[in-house]
Structure 1
Amino acid sequence: MALGIVCIVRFIENQTVQNDMSLSTLPSPHYRRIADMLRMTLASGALRAGDRMISARKLAEREQVSLPTALEALRCLEAEGLIFARPRSGYFVRQADAVPSMQVDRQLSGPVPVAMSAVARSLFSSAETRLVPLGAALPDPEWLPTEALQRALLATGRRLDARGQSYSLPPGRADLRNKIASRAAQWGARFAADELVITAGATQALRLALRAVCQPGDAVAIEQPAYFGTLLLLEDLGLKALQIPTDPLEGLMLEPLAEAIQHHRPAAVLASPTVQNPLGASMPVARKQELVALLARAGIPLIEDDVYGDLAGEGQRPPACKAFDRSGNVIYCSSLSKTLAPGWRIGWIAAGRYHAQVLQARMAGEWAGAPLLEAAMSEVLSSGDYDRHLRRLKSRIAEGVKAVIARVEASFPPGSRVAMPAAGFLLWVELPQPINALEVHRRALALGIGVSPGPLFSPAAELQNYLRLNCANEPTPHLLNAVGQIGALCHELVRVG
């Protein structure tokens, strides 16, 4: 019954939202019509939790559309948390949430200075290396393909010999750039190898992008809540944050963004349209196209942070916004830190029409790369090891997320809400008032447990009653007991409050 109500409410909302900027006057695409029909089927109760959905092929035949159109309709429901995919088995109806879904704050505010580095410093300085890892957004080291990485390092070390100990000069090794461009072309990217610059992780790529298009004092539109690394960059560069309401299922909301453009004219939009951190939201393909078109018309660059993109989708990942960029207005940033080798610090940026500015900034700053790591990464991407690893990783993540959600449902206080991630390994949890997430963090540290409190994800250290939990760890009894301990702490703080 709860699932049916959620489906009907979302269907009504989707039908009644008005677009102040006239984002599109075209008829609804076929996949949206099919997705709406499937939502109504779920709302009717005809299918129960765990039931198999109609296959994409049969759906395409029944609705007389192409197979990609049918798949996109199913992926819309997957992004909304209504169904889930099992490798080589198809789509299944997701169980109704025992924990209520996250609500969206649609209120739009003006640009604000970012002042949260003191909070970040206090939290990071108190962290220890042997905490139960529910805080940092990193995959379990045991889940990484260590043997494949070591093989690649040994092979490239022998091949490069002394050259591997030198510098890799901007824009980075050509073999790695060629491989990245080739893989990106599979999801529709429109950039060549010579349009890429290799960076020291995605954070450096984002910094280069912001420096290329912004001046101190400018406003940058960001998601609400936002990744704390983004906020630290804005603070360090003297930029203001213009927070845009973000839906826990469909990501950045375009109508408030259009309003913000009218009233505040940001210098750039920085967003993660695929698997947003911390919500786990992913924009449907059509909304990504609308976002790219809106910003192209406005002449405002989109800085796309796509570090979690490879974790989305069954088999072939969904396209990033960069796939729909026709004018070079999208500055695409990504890395392999969340999926393959965090410590190697391999990232990249495809800056479109801002390529010259980005390359100049790369050469003027920390410009030297590591040729051995770049060459080894190219070999891993070429060998097929990465794709095999991704399939295993996504399966493990799905089990980890399921296990942590079940423990949250069983142990957190009534009134807790969870943003159910369509992909990725992060859970964003709203705690009932008057719980203070910073106090939860402090008490959890004393128990040897790491969590990320909500104030890290707000430019003014707000979001006092939110937590982010990392689910990319083996769901051992020890880890799940730690989740239960966090729930017990929250129960205690409710009583004290």
Structure 2
Amino acid sequence: MAPDIVCIVRFIKNQTVQIDMSALRLSSPHYRRIAESLRHTLASGALRPGDRMISARRLADREQVSLPTALEALRCLEADGLIVARPRSGYFVCQRDISQEMLPVRALSGPVPVTLAAVARSLFSSAETRLIPLGAALPDPHWLPTDTLQRALQSASRRLDAHGQSYSLPPGRADLRNKIAARAAQWGACFGADDLVITAGATQALRLALRAVCQPGDAVAIEQPAYFGTLLLLEDLGLKALQIPTDLKEGLLLAPLADAIKQHRPAAVLASPTVQNPLGASMSVARKQELVALLEQAGIPLIEDDVYGDLAGEGQRPPACKAFDQSGNVIYCSSLSKTLAPGWRIGWIAAGRYHTQVLQARMAGDWAGAPLLEAATSDVLASGDYDRHLRRLKVRVADGVRAVIAQVEASFPKGTRVTAPEAGFLLWVELPPAVDALEVHRRALALGIGVSPGPLFSPAAELENFLRLNCANEPTTQLLNAVDQIGTICHELTTSSRPAGFEIIDGSEC
């Protein structure tokens, strides 16, 4: 619908009315005139970032227009990123120096040992379960299809009877493997049910993949920054991390990867080409094809972590790298932990030419699956309930991301930069250099707020002034206030680190 007639249609949506479209376009709607006046007010500096805007009702009285017209004017400013709405609180002026520019790509270095476990243990041991969940990368439990999951469990329990309480032996239930293979075929994957092994989540799948192709002391090429679960796996298996620069738009950069292969010859490449954690970057189809071809030519396996893939795309999700694998060189790992049922721990691996090694490793380790959960998951995938849930989840995630970005813009200090991912629910935030993300984490924890500090995403606990924020939660007043509190902590740390005599006058540094 043309923006010129939005407010008019709102008043007549229950009537049949003939509208002269050309006449409407020639006029200047009241809401646009009011919005332009408000823009001039903001540009004059009369209101500072964080100040409350005039309420819609007062604006309507002042301009002698209807309340919907006043609201439309404020929404115009919100769409331009000038103000942000807070639930039940009104509109506030955004912090306009927050940038969504691309973060710098760091220079390539050689393989390094991972020394993250001590930091991770320190952070995780201090965390409580009842935190405002801006840290853990999990969807809001209220967003999950609980009724659907319960019905599937009950149906599977009746069908399996006592066998539901037994073991599911590797490679896992055939009905679930068939459903997963059929879904993957929709985006071009060329593996069947017999090529799959069901795992206890994607982390176990990644562990099996690494064990199949690596030996202790080997280097594994990973994205920079990298998901901390990947780093902990490398450390636990005695593997070194070879960091490859990763771009916010392009994903894993192929030229530095090619150089790293020539110089260091990694045993494997472990990457998330679709919705990377923590950047949210996705490689284009063409670049995925190039990546597969590059590693096939080099004889280096690609371990593809596709746990967020189902959150990408408006309708049909984009193909994973596995869709372009003709030789079995891509080891594909995924799960439903980020979209359907985190606690069910349903994951899978399609290991290509490494299938035998992976299956042996699965049987030698924590090999037993849960038949009841596997059967119930198969039912959910077969019924179409999962696809209906995904459509709702994507809308909620997009709304949550927008709300948190707007709150960061309104609350965080000058010099902050934040990603705006096209898919997924994670924000990667670069804070001013003076702000220590570990200290932000500690202070936020004391307020009952969880955040993930940048050092978790670096092999040697670097990235000290970065945060990852989870946006897969209802943007309630409590949640947005928590983001505001994190911003306040960052302001305090910025101020406390200033040299003596440093002053702030009218918001400018002198």
User: Could you state the TM-score of these two structures normalised by the residue count of structure 1?
Assistant: 0.81
CA distance in 1, matches of 2:413, 2:388: 39
CA distance in 2, matches of 1:151, 1:315: 26
Read off the aligned partner of 1:329 and give its amino acid letter.
N
CA distance in 2, matches of 1:204, 1:231: 14
SS in 2 for 1:162: helix
TM-superposed deviation, 1:277: 0.3
TM-superposed deviation, 1:95: 6.7
Query: Percent identity between the aligned chains?
Result: 83
CA distance in 1, matches of 2:402, 2:360: 45
CA distance in 1, matches of 2:100, 2:202: 33
CA distance in 2, matches of 1:472, 1:255: 33
TM-superposed deviation, 1:100: 3.5
* CA deviation string 1:273-294 (max 9, x = no partner): 0000000000011000000000
Q: Which residue of 2 aligns with 1:441?
A: 441
Q: Which residue of 2 aligns with 1:453?
A: 453
Q: Which residue of 1 aligns with 2:463?
A: 463
TM-superposed deviation, 1:473: 0.1
Q: Which residue of 2 aligns with 1:310?
A: 310
* CA deviation string 1:131-179 (max 9, x = no partner): 1000000000000000000000000000100000000000000000000
Pairs within 5 Å for 1:387-426: 387-426=387-426
**Number of aligned residues:** 405
Q: Which residue of 2 aligns with 1:369?
A: 369
Q: Which residue of 2 aligns with 1:176?
A: 176
- Structure 2: any 5+ residue segments left out of the alignment? 1-78, 83-95, 498-510
Is 1:153 matched up with 2:157?
Answer: no
Pairs within 5 Å for 1:196-275: 196-275=196-275
CA distance in 1, matches of 2:123, 2:285: 37
Read off the aligned partner of 1:410 and give its amino acid letter.
A
Pairs within 5 Å for 1:5-16: none
Q: Which residue of 2 aligns with 1:379?
A: 379
- Asked whether the equivalents of residues 308 and 424 of structure 1 are also in contact (C-alpha less than 8 Å), the reply is yes
SS in 2 for 1:153: helix
CA distance in 1, matches of 2:106, 2:433: 20
Q: Which residue of 2 aligns with 1:285?
A: 285
SS in 2 for 1:249: coil
CA distance in 1, matches of 2:100, 2:406: 13
CA distance in 2, matches of 1:261, 1:402: 38
Q: Which residue of 2 aligns with 1:329?
A: 329
* CA deviation string 1:351-400 (max 9, x = no partner): 00000000000000000000000000000000011000000000000000
SS in 1 for 2:160: helix
Q: Which residue of 1 aligns with 2:117?
A: 117
- Asked whether the equivalents of residues 100 and 420 of structure 2 are also in contact (C-alpha less than 8 Å), the reply is no
Q: Which residue of 2 aligns with 1:164?
A: 164
- Asked whether the equivalents of residues 100 and 415 of structure 1 are also in contact (C-alpha less than 8 Å), the reply is no
Is 1:488 matched up with 2:484?
Answer: no
- Asked whether the equivalents of residues 132 and 479 of structure 2 are also in contact (C-alpha less than 8 Å), the reply is yes
Q: Which structure is larger by alpha-carbon Rg, 1 or 2?
A: 2
Q: Taking structure 1 as reference, are residues 332 and 94 closer, same or farther at Cα in structure 2, changes over 3 Å only? A: farther
- Asked whether the equivalents of residues 143 and 393 of structure 2 are also in contact (C-alpha less than 8 Å), the reply is yes
TM-superposed deviation, 1:106: 3.8
CA distance in 2, matches of 1:94, 1:235: 45
Is 1:428 matched up with 2:389?
Answer: no
Which 4+ runs in 1 deviate beyond 4 A? Answer: 93-98
TM-superposed deviation, 1:103: 1.8
- Asked whether the equivalents of residues 81 and 406 of structure 2 are also in contact (C-alpha less than 8 Å), the reply is no
User: Could you state the TM-score of these two structures normalised by the residue count of structure 2?
Assistant: 0.79
SS in 1 for 2:428: strand
Is 1:352 matched up with 2:334?
Answer: no
SS in 2 for 1:220: strand
* CA deviation string 1:10-46 (max 9, x = no partner): xxxxxxxxxxxxxxxxxxxxxxxxxxxxxxxxxxxxx
TM-superposed deviation, 1:104: 2.6
SS in 1 for 2:434: coil
Q: Which residue of 2 aligns with 1:51?
A: none
SS in 2 for 1:313: coil
RMSD between aligned residues:
1.2
Read off the aligned partner of 2:210 and give its amino acid letter.
L
